[in-house]
Amino acid sequence: MKHEIKKLNQLKHSDSFMQINYLRGFKYVDKAGEIVNSFFTGRVEPPYQMTGRELIIKESDTDTKTYRIAVNNVWGHYSSPDNLGNIETDFLKKESGILKILGVDEIVRIGWRNYFVYELQNVEEKNNILSKLSPIDDSEFLSIVFQIDVGELKCKFFIKGAEKRDEKKTPAIIFDIDCSMSFDIEPCSIADISGHIKKIRECLYSGDILHVINLVLSPKDKDKLI
């Protein structure tokens, strides 16, 4: 059976993580309470956990989105998201308010990590695909990690086999894709964040990412991946 996808949304999107790293974020120590206040819905206090170095907060107990604000980064976790565009819109709205409270304007890294799942009919299909990624014949494949450059982005792929937690224990392959850009020489400003996140979203939907995924699913030559 030929395994090939034409669009990223043919994969199940289980989790998404977006993170911005910054310098001089220690106003968090004084401003954590103000951030909590910004998450109130009317008179309802948001669920949160706070320490001297980080705050983990949600808008409600039933919310599938979780945010972490620390002295050097702000991070969002989205469970079973609808699409990348909705994540981008939500995170940009949240981070702009949070970074304004913290008075931060020196961004040193922007990263977006996503877990995509490709389900298969049976274990034999999964093993057949993954065995082609192993450098040693008749060995058990566990995982592989590699990185490609797409323009100014670094895209790291972590690939492993898995099975769903359902009655059928549906076999699957997880594509953990982490795309990021770093600003080592000159930090970027808050005003530039949205443009950079847009570049990452466009990269994730691009033919570059699909090409790698399809090479994994149906590699014609193992030397192309290893």
In tens, the pLDDT along 87-124 reads 999 999 999 999 999 999 999 999 999 999 999 988 88
Threshold 0.75, pTM exceeds: yes
Q: Give tens-digit pLDDT for 162-177.
A: 988 777 889 999 999 9
Residue with tokens 């401003």: 31
**Range in 29-33, 128-132, 138-142, 220-224 the model is least confident about:** 220-224
pLDDT at position 201: 97
Give the C-alpha distances (Å, rounded to integers) separating 111 from 21, 35, 92, 195: 9, 22, 13, 13
Q: Tell me: pLDDT of 224 over 80.
A: no
Confidence of residue 160 (pLDDT cuts 50, 70, 90): very high
Per the model's pLDDT, the better-predicted residue between 204 and 128 turns out to be 204
For all residues of the chain together, what is the average pLDDT? 92
Q: What angle do CA 160, 166, 171 make, to 5 degrees?
A: 30
DSSP-based three-state secondary structure for 158: strand
Bridge partners of 117, per DSSP, are 12, 174
Share of the chain above pLDDT 90, in %: 79
pLDDT at position 219: 56
Domain boundaries, the chain: 9-220
Cα gap 226→216, rounded to integer Å: 11
Residues 106/187, Cβ–Cβ less than 8 Å: yes
Q: Give tens-digit pLDDT for 66-92.
A: 999 999 999 999 999 999 999 999 999
pLDDT at position 225: 55
Cα gap 164→44, rounded to integer Å: 36
User: Given strand 12-22, what is the order of strands in its sheet?
Assistant: 48-50, 54-57, 65-70, 73-79, 12-22, 107-119, 171-182, 153-163, 143-150
Read off the tokens for 135. 């450098």
Instruction: Report CA Rg, the chain.
Output: 20
pLDDT at position 56: 97
